[in-house]
Amino acid sequence: MNNEKLTFWAWFLFVAIVGGFLGYVAKNKRPSTRKELLRGLAIGVLISMFAAYLTFKIAFFFFGNEDVSVAIAGVAAWMGADAFLTLEKWVTTIFNTKKEG
């Protein structure tokens, strides 16, 4: 793997982790113990990183631009699992509209 790709993936991981952390902090109430905080944060960040990776791949397929795809993936990391639910509603609406029309 060349240095440019390594830099790109390091930047992508940074954006996904920061987005996951911000999404977790913004959406969750204060945990009662430090262990709950660390476990919830770890799970939230991992889910957000997964959402960011999937969103990156989909965005890159459509746009073909890594910079735009990373920006979209950062938003998906911030949204976390909510991104999947929003995407599901959007796709369902599109298919229902095509069936009716």
As given in the structure block, the two tokens for residue 91 are 């796709």
CA atoms of 57 and 37, how far apart (whole Å): 30
Residue 99 confidence (pLDDT): 67
pLDDT at 101: 58
- For the cut 80, the answer to whether the pLDDT of residue 29 exceeds it is no
Mean of per-residue pLDDT scores for the chain: 78
- What's the farthest any 2 CA atoms get from each other in the chain? 53
Nearest Cα to Cα of residue 73 among 95, 94, 53: 53
Unique residue bearing structure tokens 């929003």: 86
Q: How confident is the model at residue 45 (pLDDT cuts 50, 70, 90)?
A: confident
Domain residue spans in the chain?
20-94
The pLDDT value recorded for residue 5 is: 81
Q: What percent of the chain has pLDDT over 90?
A: 2
CB 47 within 8 A of CB 80: yes
